[in-house]
């Protein structure tokens, strides 16, 4: 089936949704309903393909991740200043919270009572975040692809491209990193890059000679990646008709933008499956923990799934560093930039960049959607 036909099918589906979706809209960040709807067969198939799960295992994992997402803020508050980070453990199906060794017995009990497992660590999340902030204030050489706090390892992880490991500038940066706090150096095979692409007919939107993907609908438009265009740039849809303009855009430092919607276009609370999986309803933007499953929709490679590897990572693109990105094991390719990252029915962020492809694998980062909403005062369109 040709791509154009797939888009027409998807848009037809949105017309049917549009008549009732507005009535059920709720503010951004609304809690997941207690009786969460079953995941669509297409989403379960994508998780089965990319995570090696059966449909039953995928259903069980999504349910466990919903619970972990709800537990995390309570457990964090219970840990207080002893909080060392958190992650979802796919084997136990529970949230694990790191707590510093000086925490009192009452603090440990409070974290367990909140519903989390406890692991004792040396460094608090505040200490590790402070070390990362010191690195964020420096300029990294191209051989350094990024850095982040790894709560499970209780250290700051710096990724270095293998071919540049012995470079003098890279070694100087690593010296600064070690002076800032506990550091683990990880060798990666390639540097990250953004996933914009040249114009291809029938894709979600394009501006100039760049093609990108729609992220999530907000009231008045949609959010996407900042590297796709600057403020004022005109946007056309899959059929070549005018949609609107970039009203806000930031890249590098950040990688987010929002586009106004008009001229007969409208917004609906769905993530497109592009004929590969059924369209997914968006019901909120609760943040999935590290270790949770996550899926991505993009105009080039459609649906792919993986897991959340890290949050608040600084990624060093050739155009400059971008901060506070979330790292995933999901693959992506040029043209997927700006597309949707979703966990269950909760919006997570818009595709920024990565390395690799969907044939041999790779890693991809996204800009968290809640940061975009807060930056521009937008409200996520939810079902």
Share of the chain above pLDDT 70, in %: 87
Q: Residue 200: what pLDDT?
A: 35
Identify the band that residue 239 occupies on the pLDDT scale cut at 50, 70 and 90.
confident
Out of 6-10, 173-177, 218-222, 236-240, which region has the weakest mean confidence (pLDDT)? 6-10
**Token representation of residue 293:** 């499953």
Q: What is the pLDDT of residue 276?
A: 66
Nearest CA-CA partner of 366 in 195, 209, 234, 199? 195
Active-site residues, by number, are 227, 255, 337
pLDDT in tens, 132-142: 999 999 999 99
Instruction: Answer with the residue of higher pLDDT: 240 or 199.
Output: 240
**Among the listed residues 133, 139, 104, the one whose alpha carbon sits nearest the alpha carbon of residue 118:** 104
Between helices 41-51 and 55-79, what is the axis angle to 10°?
A: 80
User: For position 197, what pLDDT does the model report?
Assistant: 63
Q: Return the structure tokens found at 366.
A: 């996204």
Write out pLDDT tens, residues 109-119. Answer: 999 999 999 99
The predicted structure's pLDDT at residue 42: 76
Percentage with pLDDT > 90 across the chain: 75
Band of residue 186 on the pLDDT scale cut at 50, 70, 90: very high
Window from 16-20, 150-154, 342-346 with minimum mean pLDDT:
16-20
Residue 6 has pLDDT above 50, yes or no: no
Closest CA to 210 of 223, 226, 221, 222: 226
Any idea which of 159-163, 238-242, 355-359 has the lowest mean pLDDT? 238-242
Give me the residue label for tokens 């409200």. Answer: 379
Quick check: 13 pLDDT over 70? no
pLDDT at 204 over 90: no
**Average pLDDT of the chain?**
87
| pLDDT higher than threshold 50 for residue 368 | yes
User: What is the tally of helices (H) and strands (E) in the chain?
Assistant: 7, 23
What's the pLDDT at 292? 97
The per-residue pLDDT for 196 is 67
pLDDT at residue 33 above 80?
no
Q: Among 27-31, 201-205, 334-338, where is mean pLDDT lowest?
A: 27-31
**pLDDT (0 to 100) of residue 36:** 55
Q: Is the pLDDT of residue 27 over 90?
A: no
Minimum mean pLDDT among 189-203, 207-221, 315-329: which range?
189-203
The per-residue pLDDT for 202 is 36
Look at the alpha carbons of 73, 79, 81, 86 in this order and tell me if their dihedral is positive or negative.
Answer: negative
Angle subtended at Cα 299 by Cα 193 and Cα 60, rounded to the nearest 5 degrees: 95
pLDDT tens sequence across 55-108: 899 999 999 999 999 999 999 999 999 999 999 999 999 999 999 999 999 999
Q: What is the band of 19 on the pLDDT scale with cuts at 50, 70, 90?
A: very low
Q: State residue 195's pLDDT score.
A: 79
Cα dist from 355 to 8, 288, 299, 349, whole Å:
31, 22, 17, 18
């Amino acid at each position: 089936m040709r791509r154009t036909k797939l888009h027409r099918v998807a848009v037809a589906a949105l017309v049917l949704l549009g008549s009732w979706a507005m009535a059920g809209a709720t503010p951004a960040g609304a809690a997941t309903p207690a009786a969460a709807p079953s995941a669509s067969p297409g989403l379960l198939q994508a998780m089965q393909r990319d995570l090696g799960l059966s449909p039953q295992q995928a259903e069980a994992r999504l349910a466990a991740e919903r619970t972990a997402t709800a537990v995390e803020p309570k457990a964090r508050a219970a840990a207080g200043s002893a909080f060392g980070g958190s992650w979802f453990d796919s084997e136990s199906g529970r949230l694990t919270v790191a707590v510093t060794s000086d925490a009192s017995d009452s603090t440990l009990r409070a974290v367990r009572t909140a519903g989390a497992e406890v692991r004792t660590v040396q460094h608090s999340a505040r200490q590790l975040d402070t070390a990362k902030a010191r690195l964020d204030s420096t300029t990294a050489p191209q051989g350094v692809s990024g850095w982040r706090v790894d709560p499970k390892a209780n250290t700051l992880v710096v990724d270095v491209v293998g071919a540049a490991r012995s470079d003098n500038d890279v070694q100087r940066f690593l010296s600064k990193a070690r002076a800032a706090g506990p550091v683990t150096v990880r060798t990666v095979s390639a540097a990250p890059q953004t996933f914009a692409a040249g114009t291809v007919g029938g894709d979600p939107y394009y501006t100039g000679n760049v093609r990108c993907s729609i992220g999530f609908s907000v009231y008045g438009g949609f959010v996407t990646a900042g590297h796709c265009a600057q403020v004022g740039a005109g946007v056309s849809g899959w059929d070549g008709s005018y949609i609107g303009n970039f009203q806000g855009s930031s890249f590098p430092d950040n990688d987010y933008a929002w586009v106004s919607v008009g001229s007969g276009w409208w917004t609906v609370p769905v993530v497109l499956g592009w004929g590969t999986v059924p369209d997914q309803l968006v019901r909120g933007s609760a943040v999935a923990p590290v270790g949770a499953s996550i899926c991505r929709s993009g105009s080039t490679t459609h649906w792919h799934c993986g897991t959340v590897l890290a949050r608040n990572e600084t990624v060093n693109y050739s155009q400059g560093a971008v901060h506070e990105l979330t790292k995933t094991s999901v693959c992506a390719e040029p043209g997927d930039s700006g597309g949707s990252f979703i966990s269950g029915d909760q919006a997570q962020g818009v595709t920024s960049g990565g390395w690799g492809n969907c044939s041999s694998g790779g890693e991809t980062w996204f800009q968290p959607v809640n940061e975009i909403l807060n930056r521009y005062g937008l409200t996520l369109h939810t079902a």
